Structure 1
Amino acid sequence: MPNILIVDDEAIFRRGLRKIIESSSGSWQVAGEAKDGYEALEMVESIKPDVLLTDIRMPRMDGLQLIQIAKERFPKLLVIVLSGFDEFTYLQQSLRHGVRDYLMKPVEREELFKTLDKLETELAAPQPAIELYAAETADARIIRQHVSEHLVAGLLKGHVNETDLALLARIGVTFREPHFACMIIKLDKDLLDKERYEKADPSLFQLYIQQIVQELLDQRAKGFSFILSETEVVALVNLAGQPETADPLFELSETIRRRMISLSRLTVTIGIGRTVAGIKEVPQSFQEAKIAQLHRLIVGGDRVISYARIKQDGEELAWSSSPELRIDLIESAIQEGKPESTKQYAASFITCLCSQAKSPEVIHQQICKLLIHGYEEAEKLELTHSWLGERSIQAVLLEICSLNSRTELIDCCSSYLGKLAECIARGQRNSDRDPIDKVIRYVNQHYQEPLSLTQVAEQVYLNPAYLSTLFKQRTGTSLVEYWTDLRVTEAKKRLVSSNEKVTIIAESTGFGNIRHFNRVFKSVTGLAPIDYREQARSVKV
């Protein structure tokens, strides 16, 4: 009895096709249904249908990609293409891949029956011996690369699951190690000879960079690189573990940067995210690499910028040593959703900065750092589009760097930061019905103070035991672990960026006493606070 696999992203069409096929006079059996190309590939391998009936336009992987890969692995598979788009190019491409028929939506019952009868006759005829795996063609290699890039791009955004990883492995992209880190490599277009850039196809520069990056990845590490956009090449590096002393990712990036100069006289800026454990944390490293890239506007191009080193050096706090430059007031007002206070503190900050800075460049650098910090907060809260609309943060930073009037700087920066605080306030009002969101917001604002589970539970009128269980279910961590992590993170920043005594840092980050602080800090970082400070400051940036 011949069987058929139905692939369509709309359930109503899948159900309709099943009913039509099961009502036919032939002996056809519907072996299964799939909602997209990825799911279909899994089912083709497991149930080995005689016929694949697939739509063309589908999310994630379209029908042509599905056909290309499926036919490569199973040359005897018969395929019927289904589409609501009457386009000759689709017909051409599908027939080129060995498709037996092309049906238009909505499917005519008699037309489908006619096609099935023809295929049933073909399947019943004696079949010549055929190799199960045919040699890979140039077209197949291209489609394999495109599918890999599509999947890894989804992985960077958190849209890929374990099934997708299994598919990646089957088409040759494997991630066997437990740790990951992201690199974003950008051509320093502004440092490139204008005539040289304009004479060449810009995409060729990106392709050249990607090839150099992948070559060095293959030699010195494990990973996958691809062109993410017209300006970015991304590398996802797979690592055996967290580096203890030397930073192999930084060294690899420096090698890439130097290789580009020596081979082509092109300079690149490379942003590196921190090394994370597990595939689910990859979007975090990718976001950090993007933040690192933004610092190019501050430190210049032709260099490697590590997010971990930015944080370790406490660069975001470097300008707040003066009592008048109260960056903490701006941050608190933004996080508490107070637009007017944010504007007021921002105006005071810029006024003091302009009176103390030694050059206009320093003023622009510090304001850019402040806005990058705001952007990072907006990204965490998924408020970037609400805040900036269609504008990119890069455009905002370039706008700031073009201003040379104190009044314009105050108006522009206060407006952006005030709007961010307004977006956060609106988000807080919308999430007040969710007790976990409210608890997270409360703890983020009060973790420096002595906290108890009972005290926090009172904020949302829940039983402490129930809140503890609910928080663990929603976040994957306990409430105590959550606020302990906040305290340790703040302590690490202050240990590196200030000369405050350890006892003062312990008290001001919410730890009851120095003994408790030392014990918790060492259990989290593996080092005593003093040792952590010495080691962090000894790392050469």
Structure 2
Amino acid sequence: MPSILIVDDESIFRKGLRKMIGGLDGDWTIAGEACDGHEALDRLEALAPDVLLTDIRMPRMDGIQLQRLAASRQPGLLTVVVSGYDDFSYAQQSMRQGARDYLMKPVEREELARVLDRIGEELRTRRGAERRAEAGWQARPEMRRHLAGHVAEALLAGRIGPGELELLEQMGASFRHPYFVCLVINLDKHSVGEERYRSGDPSLFQLYIQQFAQEMLDRHAEGISFVLSETKVVALVNRPTPEPLRAGADSLAEMIRRQISSLSRLTVTIGVSAPAEGLAGIPRAYGEAEIALLHRLIAGGDCVLDYAEVGGRRSAAGEAARRSADRLEQAVLQGAPASIRAEAVRWVGELCEAARSPEAIHQQLCKLLLRCYELAEELGAASAWLGGQDIGKQLAEVCAISSREELSERLQELLARLAAAIAQARAQRERDPVASASRYIAEHYREPLTLRDVAEAVYLNPAYFSNLFKQRTGETFIEHLTGVRLREAERRLALTSDKIQAIAEETGFAHVRHFNRVFKSRTGASPKEYRERMKGSAEARSR
């Protein structure tokens, strides 16, 4: 994704730009910041950003000098200049030096989005031409790996854009079919050996596995694979029909596992998702493959775990324990603490009576908690339940318990937290999102709020929230936010002797000039005139 270096001698302005850019829909990365031209030149060399967003007037070296020197050091760098109303002649000079656009201070979010959209399109067009001009680049495995890594995050997070789609097409992964199956391939560290793993480069193991996976995809299916972490490789299989991948010894996942095992001293465990439709379904498929892979704690390593199969497995430790597990799940969903405690004690007792070994108890415990994790994910409560901790770590901690009493207490604690997290998630969804958004704005209007910030606070998609807010209130998000800020500013102008600049900053306006302009357009008077008018009215009433 394209990157930006922000240059301005005012830290508050740099912070405001960073916040605005982070809230835009485009996939932009802030490469860094600089407080003047000298620092910017050093950072350009270290960071090599795609875009330079610089103020015109700065100490030591102004924006025009910076632009001239930066162009000589980094050909192809695109520059956008920012200037005040009094600096427009400087902006004209900068445009003659090759700047792509200019923004007037204070920068408006919509204007910034317009400029960056156009710059982003220019970068995508340029990069596409460069890739096409490079002879035989599709056949270069290092280029393929680099591009795969670039789009991996966007694919799995559901944020794929036109630029990433173009990269995929250039790689030969055009995704011409409507369905996807996700494979998460996990290296079994014990097959490497602790000493060998620590002495080598972990990324080389993943690269080795990814090459095997891609070879199998190219020979037997359609799709793309990429390295996800030091222990995982992800493969996306693109399919014309919604049928699951074949199970058994001739399945694609099993062929990948056998190929790696037979040609190396490595073993892997593979989680396989159910089919998902469209690019929007890829995050769900990835989550299912991850959940299937978690059953490695139960099944052991060096195997293929299918989400459809592991999700339907039942306990073999006794029918009574199975019925207790069902009752325990219902108690969690109902949010009944007393029932959770009673059913947890009963379940652990029946499980321990029926199981033939401690390992069997831990297997059933993992199955129960993984089912709870799936419920939490479905209801949007997983993060609150685990406090950001990985479910795998929780399972490992639980499986280290050897006392029946301690196991029962730990289970009660976990499930009581889960019930509370589910209840909180339900309450958040059931609240009026527009009323919640209005309260959130009233509490945070002093901050550089964006529509995305408020939408996330009420758990809605930004586009949907924007339409819903306008329908319900009759005004846009920006109009409402500005109204809240101006009403507070009017109150303080009328009732306090605070400086106008302080009122502007403390009611959420990035710059006093912007505050003056907006205030006058809404009230017909400048802040100073409004204060004098209100003071005169108060004196007249007191006579």
Deviation digits for residues 17-56 of structure 1 (CA, Å, limit 9, x no counterpart)? xxxxxxxxxxxxxxxx99979689xxxxxxxxxxxxx985
Paired residue for 1:372, among 326, 345, 370?
370
Q: Work out the CA distance in 2 between the residues paired with 1:397 and 1:353.
A: 17
| Alpha-carbon distance change, 290 to 7 in structure 1, aligned in 2, over 3 angstroms | closer
SS in 2 for 1:270: strand
Q: How does 1:98-177 map to 2 (within 5 A)?
A: 98-99=75-76, 112-119=91-98, 134-135=133-134, 145-160=145-160, 164-165=164-165, 168-170=168-170, 172-177=172-177
| Alpha-carbon distance change, 320 to 278 in structure 1, aligned in 2, over 3 angstroms | farther
Partner of 2:267: 267
Q: Work out the CA distance in 2 between the residues paired with 1:262 and 1:93.
A: 53
Q: Work out the CA distance in 1 between the residues paired with 2:361 and 2:425.
A: 31
Kept in 1, the 8 Å contact 2:318–2:351? The answer is no
Cα drift, residue 210 of structure 1: 1.1
Q: Work out the CA distance in 2 between the residues paired with 1:379 and 1:244.
A: 22
| Alpha-carbon distance change, 233 to 93 in structure 1, aligned in 2, over 3 angstroms | farther
Partner of 1:505: none
Partner of 1:205: 205
1:396 aligns with 2:375: no
Q: Work out the CA distance in 2 between the residues paired with 1:117 and 1:389.
A: 54
Partner of 1:225: 225
Kept in 1, the 8 Å contact 2:5–2:51? The answer is no
SS in 1 for 2:159: coil
Q: Work out the CA distance in 2 between the residues paired with 1:344 and 1:106.
A: 68
Paired residue for 1:82, among 53, 58, 72?
53
Q: Work out the CA distance in 2 between the residues paired with 1:148 and 1:96.
A: 29
Q: Work out the CA distance in 2 between the residues paired with 1:138 and 1:147.
A: 11
Task: Report the AA paired with residue 404 of structure 2.
Answer: R
1:182 aligns with 2:159: no
Cα drift, residue 295 of structure 1: 0.4
Partner of 2:428: 430
Q: Work out the CA distance in 2 between the residues paired with 1:212 and 1:430.
A: 45
Cα drift, residue 175 of structure 1: 0.3
Task: Report the AA paired with residue 224 of structure 2.
Answer: F
Task: Report the AA paired with residue 338 of structure 1.
Answer: A
Cα drift, residue 278 of structure 1: 2.4
Kept in 2, the 8 Å contact 1:8–1:35? The answer is no
Deviation digits for residues 297-341 of structure 1 (CA, Å, limit 9, x no counterpart)? 001001111111223xx3145556237841111111112222332
Q: Work out the CA distance in 2 between the residues paired with 1:255 and 1:93.
A: 52
Q: Work out the CA distance in 2 between the residues paired with 1:277 and 1:397.
A: 31
Paired residue for 1:385, among 383, 386, 393?
383
Task: Report the AA paired with residue 151 of structure 2.
Answer: L
Partner of 2:280: 280
Deviation digits for residues 56-115 of structure 1 (CA, Å, limit 9, x no counterpart)? 569xxxxxxxxxxxxxxxxxxxx863368x9xxxx9998776226767877975665334
Task: Report the AA paired with residue 113 of structure 1.
Answer: Q
Task: Report the AA paired with residue 362 of structure 1.
Answer: A
Gap runs ≥5 in structure 1: 1-5, 11-15, 17-32, 41-53, 59-78, 121-130, 436-473, 475-541
| Alpha-carbon distance change, 289 to 366 in structure 1, aligned in 2, over 3 angstroms | same
Gap runs ≥5 in structure 2: 7-12, 14-20, 34-49, 56-60, 62-67, 100-128, 434-467, 469-543
Deviation digits for residues 400-440 of structure 1 (CA, Å, limit 9, x no counterpart)? 111111111111111111110111122223333369xxxxx
Partner of 2:313: 315
Paired residue for 1:332, among 330, 333, 336?
330
Deviation digits for residues 345-375 of structure 1 (CA, Å, limit 9, x no counterpart)? 1121001111121000000000010000111
Between 201-210 and 357-366, the greater mean CA deviation after superposition:
201-210
Kept in 2, the 8 Å contact 1:57–1:83? The answer is no
TM-score, normalised by the number of residues in structure 1: 0.58
Q: Work out the CA distance in 1 between the residues paired with 2:184 and 2:425.
A: 30
Cα drift, residue 161 of structure 1: 5.3
Between 335-344 and 97-106, the greater mean CA deviation after superposition:
97-106
Q: Work out the CA distance in 2 between the residues paired with 1:37 and 1:181.
A: 27
| Alpha-carbon distance change, 299 to 95 in structure 1, aligned in 2, over 3 angstroms | farther
Kept in 1, the 8 Å contact 2:3–2:51? The answer is no
Kept in 1, the 8 Å contact 2:54–2:80? The answer is yes
Cα drift, residue 177 of structure 1: 0.9
| Alpha-carbon distance change, 322 to 37 in structure 1, aligned in 2, over 3 angstroms | closer
SS in 2 for 1:180: strand
Partner of 2:253: 253
SS in 2 for 1:177: coil
Deviation digits for residues 442-483 of structure 1 (CA, Å, limit 9, x no counterpart)? xxxxxxxxxxxxxxxxxxxxxxxxxxxxxxxx9xxxxxxxxx
SS in 2 for 1:242: coil
Q: Work out the CA distance in 1 between the residues paired with 2:71 and 2:299.
A: 51
Deviation digits for residues 181-224 of structure 1 (CA, Å, limit 9, x no counterpart)? 00000110133222221221111111111111111111111111
SS in 1 for 2:401: coil
SS in 2 for 1:315: coil
| Alpha-carbon distance change, 57 to 144 in structure 1, aligned in 2, over 3 angstroms | farther
| Alpha-carbon distance change, 256 to 96 in structure 1, aligned in 2, over 3 angstroms | farther
Partner of 1:470: none
Kept in 2, the 8 Å contact 1:7–1:36? The answer is no
Q: Number of aligned pairs?
A: 365
Question: What is the root-mean-square deviation of aligned Cα atoms in Å?
Answer: 4.5
Task: Report the AA paired with residue 283 of structure 1.
Answer: P
Q: Work out the CA distance in 2 between the residues paired with 1:317 and 1:387.
A: 24
Partner of 2:196: 196
Kept in 2, the 8 Å contact 1:81–1:99? The answer is no
Q: Work out the CA distance in 2 between the residues paired with 1:177 and 1:385.
A: 33
Q: Work out the CA distance in 1 between the residues paired with 2:3 and 2:192.
A: 48
Partner of 1:303: 303
SS in 2 for 1:234: strand
Q: How does 1:51-66 map to 2 (within 5 A)?
A: none
Task: Report the AA paired with residue 251 of structure 2.
Answer: E
Kept in 1, the 8 Å contact 2:273–2:307? The answer is yes
1:345 aligns with 2:324: no
Q: Work out the CA distance in 2 between the residues paired with 1:255 and 1:141.
A: 22
SS in 2 for 1:274: coil
Kept in 2, the 8 Å contact 1:274–1:308? The answer is yes
